[in-house]
Amino acid sequence: MSTATLTSFSLDHLSCPNCGAGLEGVSLAVSKVQQQIEDLTSQTRILTERAINAVDKWADYEDQIRALRTQIKLQSQTSQSNEPKPQDERPSSIFSGYNFPLFFSSRKSTPQPPPTETSSIASSSKTDLAEELTRERSLRVAAEGKLSESSGEIEELSSQLFTQANEMVAAERRMRAKLESRVEILEKRDIEKKQRLERLESAVQRIERVRGLLASRSKITIS
């Protein structure tokens, strides 16, 4: 049966032709499953947005890590270029009393923090982001699984609903055909009764006319 045929019937007023039970329960179950599907779809959309945000954060952290590594590399190169070159040993009586290595070492720049600490921070950030991304993906997969399961349930319920509706429509058509046949038989009987009644009335009229003729003849004979 087509969908257009089903739309002419209200689910709240349909009932099983065998047991007389209504389809309100099936309609409520379908509505409940549809609500669950809408909720799961909303959750999937939220989890997808979270996963996208996590990927964006991951990309931002990678950019920051690359920038930090570049900065550390530049600082290391700058520090190496600023180190004093060894002075040529020249005999001089004037500067022989000064300790030149100690003097130049005191003018060195402040040492930069070791790159190991920055690398450990970047590695920790990457690990946290990876865990968050994995968790978001697992939640999304679970939500999609629930959505698929709910879709299967509503398809099964819809199939049962259409099957029951088709059976009810077929039963109603059979009952209507029986009623129409019964009405046709009754109409034929009514016509036959009218015809018999007309014949009886005609016979009564003939009998009355005969009686009248007999009565008039008897009066003529007596006179």
**Which pLDDT belongs to residue 114?**
53
Average of per-residue pLDDT across 211-219 = 82
What is the pLDDT, as a whole number, of residue 174? Answer: 92
State the distance between the two ends of the chain, measured CA to CA, in whole angstroms: 87
Q: Taking phi first (over 0 means left), then psi (-120 to 50 degrees means alpha), and beta for anything else, what does residue 20 get? A: left
* Predicted pLDDT of residue 187: 93
Return the pLDDT at 83.
57
Kindly tell me the burial class for residue 104, based on how many C-beta atoms sit within 10 Å of its own C-beta (0-12, 13-18, 19 or more): middle
Residue the block writes with tokens 């199939």: 159
**201 band by pLDDT with thresholds 50, 70 and 90:** very high
Confidence class for position 81, pLDDT limits 50, 70, 90: low
pLDDT score at 82: 62
Who wins on pLDDT, 146 or 187?
A: 187
Q: Is the pLDDT of residue 215 over 60?
A: yes
Residue 210 lies in a domain: no
The domain of 118 spans 17-85+97-181
10 located within any domain = no
Average pLDDT over residues 158-180: 88
DSSP characters over 6-66: HTTS-TTT-B-TTT--BSHHHHHHHHHHHHHHHHHHHHHHHHHHHHHHHHHHHHHHHHHHH
Is 223 a domain residue? no
Asked if residue 73 is part of any domain, the answer here is yes
Burial tier of 33 (Cβ tally within 10 Å: 0-12, 13-18, 19+): buried
pLDDT band at 105 (very low <50, low <70, confident <90, very high): very low
CA atoms within 13 A on the CB side of 176: 6
Measured torsion, CA atoms of residues 132, 133, 134, 140, in degrees rounded to the nearest 10? 110
* Count of domains for the chain: 1
Q: Please report, for the domain that includes residue 105, its CATH number.
A: 1.10.287
**Computed from CA positions of residues 16, 22, 28, 31, in that sequence, does the dihedral angle turn out positive or negative?**
positive
pLDDT tens for residues 106-140? 444 445 555 555 566 666 777 777 787 788 788 88
| Higher pLDDT pick, 157 / 206 | 206
Residue 152 maps to a domain? yes
14-23, 38-47, 131-140, range with the lowest pLDDT: 14-23
Question: Is 144 within the bounds of a domain?
Answer: yes
Residue 191 maps to a domain: no
142 compared with 126, residue with greater pLDDT: 142
Q: Which of 28, 7, 25 is nearest to 16 (CA)?
A: 25
Number of residues that this document lists for the chain: 223
Judge whether 197 lies within some domain: no
Angstrom distance (rounded) from CA 171 to CA 9: 14
